[in-house]
Amino acid sequence: MAPGAFIMQLGRRRLVAGAFSAGSLAAGSLVTARKAGAVVVQDETWRAEGGGPGREAMGFRAHVALAHQPQFRGLMALSSDEGESWGVASSTWLGNVQGHGLLLTAAHVFESDESAEDYVYRTPSGRIRQGTDLVIHPKWSGSTDDTGGFDFAIVTLDAPVDDAGPPPLLYSANREMGRRIVMIGFGNRGIGSVGENAMYSTGSDKAAAENTVDEVMSAVGGKLSKGEEAGNWIAVTLHRTSDGGSRMDGILGSGDSGGSAWLMAGTGWAICGVNSSGGEKYEERAYFARVSGVAEWIAKVVPGVRFAA
Number of Cβ within a 10 Å radius of residue 68: 16
Amino acid at site 174? N
- Which of the listed CATH numbers 3.40.718.10, 2.40.10.120, 1.20.1250.20, 3.40.190.10 matches domain 22-308? 2.40.10.120
pTM confidence score: 0.88
Reply yes or no on whether the pLDDT at 187 is more than 80. Answer: yes
Question: What ranges do the domains of the chain cover?
Answer: 22-308
What is the average pLDDT across 272-280?
93
Q: pLDDT tens digits for 115-156?
A: 999 999 999 999 999 999 999 999 999 988 899 999 999 999
Cα–Cα distance list, 178 to 181, 234, 279, 286 (Å): 9, 10, 20, 15
Instruction: Kindly indicate the confidence band of residue 1, based on its pLDDT and cuts at 50, 70 and 90.
Output: very low
How far apart (Å, rounded) are the C-alpha atoms in residues 275 and 272?
10
Q: For the segment 213-252, what is each residue's pLDDT rounded down to a tens digit? A: 999 999 998 877 777 899 999 999 999 999 999 999 999 8
Q: Is the pLDDT assigned to residue 4 strictly greater than 60?
A: no
Three-state SS at 213: coil
- The DSSP code sequence of 2-35 is -TT--PPPTT---B-STT--HHHHHHT--PPPPP
- In this prediction, residue 101 carries a pLDDT of 98
Residue 237, SS3 per DSSP: strand
pLDDT digits (tens, 9 = 90+) for 10-69: 233 445 544 332 222 222 222 233 333 479 999 999 999 999 999 999 999 999 999 999
